[in-house]
Amino acid sequence: MKKLIIILAAIAMVGAFTATAAMADAELYGSARFRTYYTSNDPGHPAGVETDKDLEWQMGKLSRFGVNFKNGAITGKFEMDARAGGTVEDTSGASSLGNLRIRQLWGQYDFGTFKLMIGQNFPLYDAPVSNIAYFSGGLQPLGGMGYLVARTSQIRLTIGDLRIAFLTPDDTAGGLGTYTEINTTFPRTEIRYDLKIENFALNFDGGFETYEIEDPNTRNTENINSWVLGFRGKANFGPGYAGLGLTYRQNGTNYGAWTVSSKESAVLEAGSTNNIKDATAWGIVAALGWKVNDMFTVEGNYAKLHSEQDTALDNEDDNTAWALLAQIHVAPGVLIQPEFIYNDREDVVTNGTSTDEGNETIFGVWWLINFK
């Protein structure tokens, strides 16, 4: 009798697990991506530095494999992507070493009136406009919203169209001068509101972060405060579409924003040991596209970024870019995307001295095959 009870209990447990698995919805997916680009980099006119020309021929850094999960009020995602190295800062493709990195890993529970998410996911200050694939995020680093490492640990609340996230503090910009010790107390906080009106989609986002820097010898402390504001608008009109992204921020590099500017971080005023000067920046990314047919789409892009530090002597940086792409859908899940990018790095002004930073021209093809 005792053995029969044990057997029946085992059968009941197996049945319960089987029923749970049957009720859950898990979908595997993947995306293989490849980069074939040629880059001509003109550094401007510094002495002894020549134009650099390079061919990139490797697996795309956004190649990925993952699973979407749903079971009643619980949803989740696990996703890994390809990286060549073992550090999170490594953004090159993985064709040489074949390493994998956790890209997303999060779970969310729907309480009805709100949703609670924990794990690693995209920050809210991330709103691509352009479909350019070379930078793995449109033209965001050249003028838009986003992060170089575009996923981070967070606790997020969703209430209707409003989202609030508390993220890992970013202190990678480090200290200033003798203030080498970094003290973090509060999480980075972001908020975003999404609005849809017929053929228009609007997104408003903002974020704030503060951390303390300390001189380990004198024990003096100072605070570095960073904040970001962003807006994205998208519109569809027949076969055409348009997108616009705008951003304004203070100490964007300290915040962790993705930027090509060297003047987006807080600095010490020249000759001072504790007079911190903030940096401000504004950026724009615009896209205009036309779907010729189900197979062929063309898109033009523009990006502009201006940044400056509030120092007595001028310290500022500008960047302007133009880009063109064509999307060729040769089969379901198969995309071939030729791209051309011209990036004018313009001049950088350091302590009142202006230097031409040159330009770069990029052209090539981005290849993609999705599977699931």
Q: Is 130 exposed, middle or buried (0-12, 13-18, 19+ CB in 10 A)?
A: buried
- As given in the structure block, the two tokens for residue 281 are 């920046």
Is residue 39 domain-resident? yes
- Residues, the chain: 372
Residue whose pair of structure tokens reads 């009941």 in the numeric block: 12
Three-state secondary-structure class, residue 142: helix
Q: Which pLDDT does position 10 carry in this prediction?
A: 42
**110-122 pLDDT, tens digit each:** 999 999 999 999 9
Instruction: Count the domains in the chain.
Output: 1
Q: Is 139 exposed, middle or buried (0-12, 13-18, 19+ CB in 10 A)?
A: buried
Reference 36, options 324, 368, 358; nearest CA is 368
Is residue 13 domain-resident? no
Question: What CATH number should be reported for the domain holding residue 253?
Answer: 2.40.160.10
8 A C-beta contact, residue 340 and residue 326: no
Three-state secondary-structure class, residue 8: helix
Is residue 235 domain-resident? yes
Of the pLDDT bands very low, low, confident and very high (cuts 50, 70, 90), residue 279 is very high
8 A C-beta contact, residue 55 and residue 70: no
Q: Which pLDDT does position 97 carry in this prediction?
A: 63
Q: Which pLDDT does position 81 carry in this prediction?
A: 87
Is residue 6 domain-resident? no
| Mean pLDDT (whole number) for 262-281 | 90
Q: Which pLDDT does position 85 carry in this prediction?
A: 60
CA distance 186 to 124: 17
Is residue 20 domain-resident? no
Is residue 18 domain-resident? no
Is residue 115 domain-resident? yes
- As given in the structure block, the two tokens for residue 158 are 């969703």
**125-143 pLDDT, tens digit each:** 999 999 999 998 899 999 9
Of the pLDDT bands very low, low, confident and very high (cuts 50, 70, 90), residue 82 is confident
8 A C-beta contact, residue 77 and residue 67: yes
**21-44 pLDDT, tens digit each:** 455 799 999 999 999 999 999 887
Q: Which pLDDT does position 347 carry in this prediction?
A: 92
For the chain, helix, strand, coil in percent to 5 are 10, 60, 35
Is residue 298 domain-resident? yes
Q: Which pLDDT does position 366 carry in this prediction?
A: 96
How would you classify residue 97: left for phi > 0, otherwise alpha for psi between -120 and 50, otherwise beta? alpha
> In the predicted model, what is the mean pLDDT of the chain?
89
Three-state secondary-structure class, residue 9: helix
Residue of higher predicted confidence among 67 and 96: 67
CA distance 291 to 128: 19
For residue 260, the tally of other CB atoms under 10 A from its CB is 18
Quote the domain boundaries for residue 284.
26-371
Q: What sign has the CA pseudo-torsion 87, 90, 94, 97?
A: negative
CA distance 369 to 62: 12
Which of 50-54, 133-137, 241-245 has the lowest average pLDDT?
A: 50-54
Q: Which pLDDT does position 43 carry in this prediction?
A: 84
Of the pLDDT bands very low, low, confident and very high (cuts 50, 70, 90), residue 290 is very high
